[in-house]
Amino acid sequence: MTPEGSLLAAQGLRKTYGATPALDGADFSIHPGEVVAVMGPSGSGKSTLLHCLAGIIQPDEGTVTYAGHHLTTMTDTQRSTLRRTDFGFVFQFGQLVPELTALENVALPLRLNGTPRKKAQEHAHHWLTRLEVETIAHKRPGEISGGQGQRVAVARALAPTPRLIFADEPTGALDTLNGERVMNLLTDAARDTHAAVVLVTHETRVAAYSDREIIVRDGKTRDIMAGLA
């Protein structure tokens, strides 16, 4: 049964690569506006869980339900559309398009969704300002620092006004000071827009920004209240 009021929920997820089980009956749920940290050692299944939740890969068994719709029965095209409109992504190394400026990178998901260029860039500039990097709007990724680049990546994730943001080790390539700044900006902006955040991390200081923690170990999940692990 899907947890009442959840925005996204997964039940009984199993995923095997060859003879190696990555997920072994994993469960997950998140409510609108909630920040949930997914923690666990390297190789525990954290990233596989995130990829299943986002519809990037299909589980071998189990269900993923988003806003009452089953991701596991959607077509590839339907899941791809959902990732452009309802989901935002922040990765460890930003993954910005090197040929585009910061402004163009943030405007990109809006342009892909059909937003006119001027309106998309105005909205992108708003988010660059919100993430305190408007002064580098016309610089390319190779011309900015890692901390600035990750703020641009957060702005890009937030620009389409997603209902759910997947952040996979978003501070893993940053020093402590820049990591804390990125997490403050990400969680504050997400809560202002009432977006939920799935935060994959192995760092307790990053997980401290969450409302709740889910521990992944040997492909299984354990749901605990944040701060009580």
pLDDT (mean) for 37-58:
92
Taking 90 as the threshold, does the pLDDT of residue 91 lie above it?
Answer: no
> How do the domains of the chain map onto residue ranges?
1-86+195-229
For residues 141 and 101, is the Cβ–Cβ distance under 8 A? no
Distance of CA 106 to the CA centre of its chain: 15
Band of the pLDDT at 11, cuts 50, 70, 90? very high
Give the pLDDT score at 5: 86
Band of the pLDDT at 19, cuts 50, 70, 90? confident
Give the pLDDT score at 225: 59
Tokens found for residue 61: 């068994």
What is the dotted CATH code of the domain comprising 1-86+195-229? 3.40.50.300
Band of the pLDDT at 2, cuts 50, 70, 90? low
Q: In Å, what is the CA distance from 189 to each residue of 16, 85, 154, 192, 200?
A: 36, 18, 9, 5, 18
Using alpha carbons, select from 1, 45, 8, 57 the residue that is nearest to residue 28: 8
Q: What is the DSSP string of 25-46?
A: EEEEEE-TT-EEEEE--TTSSH
pLDDT (mean) for 10-18:
95
Q: What is the DSSP string of 72-129?
A: GGS-HHHHHHHHHHTEEEE-TT----TTS-HHHHHHHHHHHTT--HHHHHHHHHHHHH
Using alpha carbons, select from 110, 19, 16, 28 the residue that is nearest to residue 71: 28
- Could you report how far apart the first and last alpha carbons of the chain are, in Å? 26
pTM across the whole model: 0.91
The pLDDT tens digits for 153-164 are 999 999 999 999
For residues 144 and 152, is the Cβ–Cβ distance under 8 A? yes
Find the radius of gyration of the CA atoms of the chain: 17
pLDDT (mean) for 1-16:
88
The pLDDT tens digits for 164-175 are 999 999 998 888
Give the pLDDT score at 186: 92
Q: Give the least confident one: 14-28, 96-110, 168-182.
A: 168-182
Q: Give the least confident one: 5-19, 128-142, 149-163, 215-229.
A: 215-229
pLDDT (mean) for 131-142:
95
